[in-house]
Structure 1
Amino acid sequence: MPEVIFNGPAGRLEGRFQPATRRNAPIAMILHPHPQFGGTMNNAITYRLFYMFKERGFAVLRFNFRGVGRSQGVFDHGSGELSDAASALDWVQGVHPDARSCWVAGFSFGAWIGMQLLMRRPEIEGFISVAPPANLHDFSFLAPCPSSGLIVHGDSDKVAPPKDVQTLVDKLKTQKGIVIEQRTLPQTNHFFEKQLDELIDICGNYVDRRLAMVSA
């Protein structure tokens, strides 16, 4: 898994990139949790999502937002991090220009950034949002949500309470033309402790079903 450094809007960004073996393989980009609370591209959920997509033949990128690890810049409360994500997607598309589709997956803060990126980049056709913090950040920009995707969260999450995630899901499900799948894991906190394998299985099965629909 090559270490990569690419240019972002606030300086160099550090990432890990797994190339695809097929020229037209899809792209996936994985976004990590909140930088000010220890979030990095090596977060366990971010790391496992990366390998889940790798095992399915995607070209996969995970990277550190500005100010994290060896990435330059300072935390920018979301707006700069969204620009980082857009630059990262530009970079991976430049490396893998023949990709037939693009996915974004994020955990917590990364889920919020990823869903904002959906609104900017129409080529993103699938998303996975793990424990989106609908109580902490405004998701009203999803009007309408442009892509179908999966939202997974725990019923014992005190960081992103289930009732707030449910409100977000209910709003998204009223839109025509997209399908939002929701999975709520019982007795599960924000970090999916002891349920990480189940989380990754749910996400992998969802991607498998979506890929099967495309190839059918």
Structure 2
Amino acid sequence: MPEVIFNGPAGRIEGRYHHSKKANSPVALVLHPHPQFGGTMNNPVTYALFQAFVNRGFSVLRFNFRGVGRSQGGFDSGIGELSDAAAALDWLQSQNPDASQCWIGGFSFGAWIAMQVLMRRPEIEGFISVAPPANMYDFSFLAPCPSSGTIINGGTDQVAPQADVLKLVERLKTQKGITIEHASVEGANHFFENQLEPLAAMVGAYLDKRLAAAPEKS
């Protein structure tokens, strides 16, 4: 999978990109967890999300936020990282101008950023939010949440506790016109240690269902 470098608001951004050979393939952007706690685009959960999209024929980009790996700049408390994600989505779309669908996925801090991107980009049709830290970050900007998606958490997550995630899910479920699903990986901690396979299976099942229901675009 080729390494890519593209320009972001704080300088160069380092990414990994899989390009689908299928014409009009859907695209997906995947965002990694908190840069100040060791989060990178090679985080196992982030990579599992990436592979779930790859396995279903998407062109997929994951990248390092500013100040991580070879990406230039420094941590910016989410403000700059949101700009990085927007630049990454611009780059992904420039490589796939005829994409049939656009999706976003994120893990932990990356899930918080992903949901903010979702609010700003109406072309995003679906999202996968893994362990969103609803106890640490304000998700009230999702009013209303513009697209259907799934939220998945670990049953024994002590970083982003399930009770807080469920409150977020219930609030989003009250909105009309979209469908928010929720799944929990029993016994999984925040990082889904020894539980990546059940997580990947849940993500894959959700994607398969949504893709099967999607109208064909010529």
TM over 0.5: yes
> What SS class does the counterpart of residue 146 from structure 1 fall into?
coil
Q: Give matches, 1:24-173, under 5 Å.
A: 24-173=24-173
How far did residue 193 of structure 1 move?
A: 1.3
Cα deviations across residues 85-138 of structure 1 (Å, max 9, x unaligned)?
A: 000000010011110110000000000000000000000000000000000100
> What SS class does the counterpart of residue 176 from structure 1 fall into?
coil
How far did residue 213 of structure 1 move?
A: 0.2
Q: Report how many residues are paired.
A: 216
Identical residues among aligned pairs (%) = 68
Would you say 1:180 and 2:184 are equivalent positions? no
Consecutive aligned runs of 4 or more in structure 1 exceeding 3 Å deviation: none
- TM-score if structure 2 supplies the norm length? 0.97
Would you say 1:3 and 2:3 are equivalent positions? yes
Residue 145 of structure 2 aligns with an amino acid whose one-letter code is: C
Cα distance in 2 between the residues matched to 1:23 and 1:82: 29
Deviates more, 1:43-52 or 1:139-148: 43-52
Cα distance in 2 between the residues matched to 1:48 and 1:175: 29
Residue 208 of structure 2 aligns with an amino acid whose one-letter code is: D
How far did residue 215 of structure 1 move?
A: 4.1
Instruction: Structure 2: give runs of 5+ residues left out of the alignment.
Output: none
> What SS class does the counterpart of residue 214 from structure 2 fall into?
helix
Corresponding position of 2:189? 189
Cα distance in 1 between the residues matched to 2:46 and 2:186: 21
Cα deviations across residues 127-173 of structure 1 (Å, max 9, x unaligned)?
A: 00000000010000000000000100012111001111011001000
> What SS class does the counterpart of residue 56 from structure 1 fall into?
coil
How far did residue 187 of structure 1 move?
A: 1.5
Deviates more, 1:203-212 or 1:43-52: 43-52
Question: CA RMSD for the aligned pairs?
Answer: 0.8
Corresponding position of 2:14? 14
> What SS class does the counterpart of residue 124 from structure 1 fall into?
coil
- TM-score if structure 1 supplies the norm length? 0.98
Cα deviations across residues 168-213 of structure 1 (Å, max 9, x unaligned)?
A: 0010000000000000122111011121100000000100000000
On the 8 A contact 1:2/1:18 being kept in 2, the answer is yes
On the 8 A contact 1:23/1:96 being kept in 2, the answer is no
Cα distance in 2 between the residues matched to 1:141 and 1:23: 35
On the 8 A contact 1:28/1:104 being kept in 2, the answer is yes
